[in-house]
Chains A and B, each alone.
Chain A
Amino acid sequence: MKKLSTGRALRGTAVFSLAALALTACGPDTSGESAEAETNDTDWSSVEPADSIIFATNHPGGSQDIENELIEEFTDETGIEVEVITSGANYEETSQWFQTGGGSNADVIVLSDATWFPNYLNDALAPVDELLEAAEVDTSRFVTALYDDYLYEDAHYGAPYARSTPLFYYNADQYEELGLEVPTTWEEVAENGRALVEAGLTDSGFSFPSADSYVSWTAANLAWAYGGAWSEDWDFSAIASDGTVEALEFAQDGVGDWATVSSTTPDDDFGAGVTSQAIASTGSLVGILSVADFEVGTAFLPGGPAAEGETPTGGAGLMIASASSPEKQLAAAMFIGHMTQPENTARFSQATGYVPVNQDSDMSDVYAETPQFETAVEQLSRSRSQDNARVFLPGGDLELSQTLQAILTGDGDVREQLEALQTQLEELYESELASELD
């Protein structure tokens, strides 16, 4: 079975791409046999865990404090010291860092659903199934959809950690004032947006993200709702299909009528009260609640003619470096087990706004404090793995985002732009991936 699915890629950063150009020689050892072969040959029952490991993280969702708390507890329980290295400010920086000189010593790495696959192709990641079993981690209790985002050719290459989905946010005070119903389809989002603008309560009934605010992540829901997609496996014709064209024509027509395109992020626009409806990450919930001076409502993502509101998965997982010694790998697996325990997952979720990755997590305290969070967790039942064009194709997300922004901010022919994008994606696949996957 081949399963190619993954989460949200975040905007690229220039700072490390320069160093990455020719420094792969300094990176993790990716020569020789694949990581899978090496790991599968190990008799884990005879391996003693190392007494220290290195954890490389970008502290997703501002998680530095809670990470440090959990790490201290892990060291107290096991005696294994964890050196924390801040490997960047976002997932791209962390991935670049891991692929270049810095990553050669890392044992556990935070990689996003969109950055783990290139590292897998470099043989830099160890399959974790046997490792987690040896560390007595019950992987059956992970949220299946989130764990399977790291599944490729019958092996998992990571465990879910800082996981999120997009969430529909609305200004509940304004909804109440106009007596609006929570929308379940994109048409209803448009109707509510128009009503809010016409009533003079807002200048923007909905805020679409720009290219550098994950537009290709959140807009996947819109494409799916109309029967479109960014790709189907490695077939890129879906991007210019009738469904995708219809979805993006709907969005293009809405901009300037009931919607706007954010000049910052939809999170900022919504939190400041600039817009009355937005789609943003569950990981943004804590930040939005801290700035909004109105009642924040949350709902499932809207559906459309072809599908109910499906939500793309996103966020990051914990990966184990293939270059680490078996002793370090086992200690790393124990560390992952600790970080994903039900209680610790609940605490991490409460601190960051990420969804709990363990099905046994007791979230009642979190729901009592932040009822909006329950929507995010319930919505996991409607999650759908992202399209390959965005998360596995090197450079695919950038091309997608730029085209989507051009469509939303301009009035050019949508079909023409998507057909041009299809050609670009196919060329990228041929030049970047085809030979790797053969």
Chain B
Amino acid sequence: MSLTNTPTTPAAAARAVSQPTLKPRAAWRRAFEPRHLADTLLTGYLPIIIAMLIIVLPLGWMISSSFKPAGEIVTLNPTLLPQEPTLDNYDAVASRVPLLTVLGNSIYVTVIGSTIKVLLAITTAYALVFIRVPGANLIFLGILVALMVPAEVSMLPNYLTITGLGGRNTLWGIILPGLGTAFGTFLLRQHFKALPKELFEAAELDGAGHFRKLFQIALPVSLPAIATVALVTVVNEWNSFLWPLIITDTPDKMTLPVGLNLLRSIETTTASYGILMAGAVLVIVPMLIVFAALQRYIVAGLTQGAVK
């Protein structure tokens, strides 16, 4: 068996042949011809620009404000860029929060938690689709129900359980309750179900067992879906606030979002918006880097391999 980039079925091959595709440069030229220009701008660029502004302006304002002195934020005449840029806000964050500690905690919780979550999601989804498990549909129904239950509902039993196990103010206490991910399992199960059966039949003929089928066939052709699950999981773990807040109360075990909550203080908000913005930048920038690293997988084609 060899994996190539040819279409997976005769029907798909026929479609690929019958649809003439424009080269990128030709398509670009066509979009900007006078008769197509209005359509291109109204249905293409305008919505994108509006969406971009809605997303980017607050981000830009946040980053800009993190370099502004207080008087440039609380003012009747705000400017987009700081008039007298300062790093004082970042200094204040570093002095008020044990930054390296909470950053380290966040990285630890995110890396360990996300890795286990994604692995569990992959293996569970694979088992539900490719292994004959008695009551698989019931198990899947249970997963769907778990998706519908708000996380807050389980916080109290989780708190009592983790505290009983001695997990209060520990990093494993933060990680443990969220390891089973209904979302990731659901998404990957749906994705695995859509994979061409021929791939796996061919592998079986070659004598491949489940582990080989999972790691040499299912995973390579599912990278975009797995990257999506990984990204969502990483972002959720990194931004998780309520559970770490409840289960920790000492700064040496706090994650970054909870640690930065220490920047909020009664009766000093007027002068501390810049400090809060600097804290928010520190939370968001690592996620932007992760997204930049994973986005090419997410936008890649969904089936990257096929049967010869």
Closest to B262 in A: A86
Minimum C-beta distance from A57 to chain B (A):
10
Contact of B271 with A19 in the complex, beta carbons under 8 Å: no
Contact with B along A58-99 (1 / 0, CB 8 A): 111111110000000000000000000111011100000100
Instruction: Enumerate chain A residues within 8 angstroms of B261, measured Cβ to Cβ.
Output: 89
A102 at the interface (CB under 8 A from B): yes
Contact of A18 with B75 in the complex, beta carbons under 8 Å: no
**Contact pick for B270, options A18, A23, A91, A287, CB 8 Å:** A287
Contact of B152 with A18 in the complex, beta carbons under 8 Å: yes
Contact of B96 with A267 in the complex, beta carbons under 8 Å: no
Instruction: Enumerate chain A residues within 8 angstroms of B266, measured Cβ to Cβ.
Output: 10, 58, 60-61, 89-91, 283
Instruction: Enumerate chain B residues within 8 angstroms of A287, measured Cβ to Cβ.
Output: 70, 267-272
Contact of B265 with A291 in the complex, beta carbons under 8 Å: no
Q: How large is the interface on B (under 10, 10 to 19, 20 to 34, 35 or more residues)?
A: 20 to 34
Contact of A281 with B71 in the complex, beta carbons under 8 Å: no
- How far is A90 from B250 in the complex, measured between Cα atoms in Å? 16
- How far is A284 from B155 in the complex, measured between Cα atoms in Å? 36
Contact with B along A377-395 (1 / 0, CB 8 A): 0000000000000000000
Minimum C-beta distance from A88 to chain B (A):
8
Instruction: Enumerate chain A residues within 8 angstroms of B251, measured Cβ to Cβ.
Output: 86
- How far is A64 from B242 in the complex, measured between Cα atoms in Å? 23
B246 at the interface (CB under 8 A from A): yes
From known contacts A18-B155, A291-B75, infer whether A85 and B249 are also in contact, taking CB-CB under 8 Å: yes
Contact with B along A278-295 (1 / 0, CB 8 A): 000101101110111100
Q: Please indicate which of the listed interface residues B168, B241, B264, B270 has the most CB atoms of chain A within 10 Å of its own CB.
A: B270
Instruction: Enumerate chain A residues within 8 angstroms of B71, measured Cβ to Cβ.
Output: 290-293
Closest to A314 in B: B267
Instruction: Enumerate chain B residues within 8 angstroms of A22, measured Cβ to Cβ.
Output: 156, 160
Contact of B270 with A265 in the complex, beta carbons under 8 Å: yes
Minimum C-beta distance from A246 to chain B (A):
30
Instruction: Enumerate chain A residues within 8 angstroms of B18, measured Cβ to Cβ.
Output: none
Instruction: Enumerate chain A residues within 8 angstroms of B160, measured Cβ to Cβ.
Output: 22-23
B108 at the interface (CB under 8 A from A): no
A192 at the interface (CB under 8 A from B): no
Contact of B265 with A89 in the complex, beta carbons under 8 Å: yes
Contact of A15 with B245 in the complex, beta carbons under 8 Å: yes
- How far is A18 from B160 in the complex, measured between Cα atoms in Å? 12
B159 at the interface (CB under 8 A from A): yes
A26 at the interface (CB under 8 A from B): yes
Minimum C-beta distance from A38 to chain B (A):
25
Closest to A97 in B: B249
Contact with B along A252-293 (1 / 0, CB 8 A): 000000000000010110011110000001011011101111
Interface residues of B in 224-270 (CB under 8 A from A): 241-242, 245-246, 249-251, 261-262, 264-270
From known contacts A18-B155, A19-B159, infer whether A286 and B268 are also in contact, taking CB-CB under 8 Å: yes
A324 at the interface (CB under 8 A from B): no
Contact of A273 with B75 in the complex, beta carbons under 8 Å: yes
B19 at the interface (CB under 8 A from A): no
Interface residues of B in 91-145 (CB under 8 A from A): 95-96
**Contact pick for B267, options A23, A61, A65, CB 8 Å:** A61
From known contacts A18-B246, A19-B155, A293-B71, infer whether A60 and B265 are also in contact, taking CB-CB under 8 Å: yes
B56 at the interface (CB under 8 A from A): no
Q: Please indicate which of the listed interface residues A86, A102, A271, A281 has the most CB atoms of chain B within 10 Å of its own CB.
A: A86
Contact with B along A94-112 (1 / 0, CB 8 A): 0001000110000000000
Instruction: Enumerate chain A residues within 8 angstroms of B241, measured Cβ to Cβ.
Output: 15
Instruction: Enumerate chain A residues within 8 angstroms of B250, measured Cβ to Cβ.
Output: 85
**Contact pick for A267, options B76, B152, B155, B270, CB 8 Å:** B270
- How far is A132 from B269 in the complex, measured between Cα atoms in Å? 34
Minimum C-beta distance from A271 to chain B (A):
5
- How far is A291 from B68 in the complex, measured between Cα atoms in Å? 11
Instruction: Enumerate chain A residues within 8 angstroms of B70, measured Cβ to Cβ.
Output: 287, 290-291
Closest to A112 in B: B266
A21 at the interface (CB under 8 A from B): yes
- How far is A18 from B265 in the complex, measured between Cα atoms in Å? 21
Contact of A284 with B267 in the complex, beta carbons under 8 Å: yes
Interface residues of B in 255-308 (CB under 8 A from A): 261-262, 264-272
- How far is A83 from B263 in the complex, measured between Cα atoms in Å? 19
Contact of B268 with A61 in the complex, beta carbons under 8 Å: yes
Interface residues of A in 157-182 (CB under 8 A from B): 164
- How far is A272 from B273 in the complex, measured between Cα atoms in Å? 13
Contact of A272 with B156 in the complex, beta carbons under 8 Å: no
A353 at the interface (CB under 8 A from B): yes
Closest to A110 in B: B266
Instruction: Enumerate chain B residues within 8 angstroms of A44, measured Cβ to Cβ.
Output: none
Instruction: Enumerate chain A residues within 8 angstroms of B168, measured Cβ to Cβ.
Output: 101
- How far is A10 from B266 in the complex, measured between Cα atoms in Å? 8
Contact of B74 with A268 in the complex, beta carbons under 8 Å: yes
Interface residues of B in 3-59 (CB under 8 A from A): none
B163 at the interface (CB under 8 A from A): yes
Interface residues of A in 277-336 (CB under 8 A from B): 281, 283-284, 286-288, 290-293
Contacts A/B (CB < 8 Å), 27 sampled: A15-B241, A16-B246, A19-B155, A19-B159, A21-B156, A60-B267, A61-B265, A62-B268, A62-B272, A86-B262, A90-B265, A90-B266, A265-B269, A265-B270, A268-B270, A273-B75, A283-B268, A284-B270, A286-B268, A287-B70, A287-B272, A290-B70, A290-B270, A291-B74, A291-B75, A291-B270, A353-B267
Query: 5 shortest A-B CB distances, which residue pairs?
Result: A283-B267, A287-B271, A287-B270, A62-B268, A89-B264
Apart from the given pairs A18-B246, A267-B267, A284-B268, 4 other A-B contacts in the complex at a CB distance below 8 Å? A19-B155, A63-B265, A89-B265, A265-B269
Interface residues of B (CB under 8 A from A): 70-71, 73-76, 95-96, 152, 155-156, 159-160, 163, 168, 241-242, 245-246, 249-251, 261-262, 264-272
